[in-house]
Amino acid sequence: MKVGVLISGRGSNMDALINACRNEDFPARIVCVLSNKAEAPGLQIAEQDNVPTHVVDHRQFESREDFDAQVTKILRSYEVDVVCLAGFMRILSSAFVSDWHNRLLNIHPSLLPAFKGLHVHERVLEAGVRFTGCTVHFVRPEMDEGPIIVQSAVPVMPDDTPDSLARRVLNTEHRCYPHALKLMAEGKLEIVGETVTVHGQSQLSVGAVPATINPPDK
């Protein structure tokens, strides 16, 4: 399965996906990385990993649709099957989301549907919840909505700051995203209504990645 990754910044989740795909047994390959920002640090990481990169500067396009069409054109030139959003900070047009329907994945640093949007860790601390986590989901036109593939819960500690919590959640994101991509590439995901059924293994062992131990089939 050929995968394209869209980033806007640091690219640590992209790096986790590239590293997972390096394993010969992993059923997917990252064939290109696109960024809307030329200065995104993740671009250098991808280049060091010999993954082709492209910058598509959104400021050069008259409309969101034009920008998205250019992104799709590049992804198609690599015969991409699945697109992973990894810290991509642009809202995508409904045309793009429908072009890639059920082939477009995102990772969000909370247990969706709680804490959609930005500044997640600040809001988690303000709310006083005891657990947070991350979610890998199929993308729908509404931000941070869509069928959930994998989630992992992370405890919130009494002395956490937004930064310490972000680090703990990010650590688990780096295991969840490759895990979700692997399930997708193995054809184990079926979307029924707007929920995902994971075939072949129990939902508990596959869809919920424990925070402190490796996913069972890693």
Return d(Cα 60, Cα 68) in angstroms, integer. 12
Helices (DSSP H) in 41-119: which residue ranges? 41-48, 64-77, 94-99
Contact 175, 214 (CB under 8 A): yes
Nearer to ligand GRF, 112 or 206 (CB): 112
Binding string to ligand GRF for residues 139 to 168, with x set by CB under 6 A, is what? ------------------------------
Contact 46, 53 (CB under 8 A): yes
CB 217 to ligand GRF: min, Å: 22
- Return the exposure string of 70-99: e unless at least 16 CB atoms fall within 10 Å of the residue's CB, then b: bbbeebeebebbbbbbbbbebebbeebbeb
Nearer to ligand GRF, 10 or 90 (CB): 10
Contact 54, 32 (CB under 8 A): yes
Using CB under 6 A as the binding rule, whether residue 210 contacts ligand GRF is answered as no
CB 132 to ligand GRF: min, Å: 12
Choice from 43, 82, 87, 121 touching ligand GRF (CB under 6 A): 87
CB 3 to ligand GRF: min, Å: 15
**Residues in 98-117 that interact with ligand GRF by CB under 6 A:** 107-109
Concerning whether 108 is annotated as a catalytic residue, the answer is yes
Residue owning tokens 């400021």: 59
Q: Which residues are catalytic?
A: 108
Site residues, ligand GRF (CB under 6 A): 7, 9-14, 42, 86-87, 107-109, 170, 173
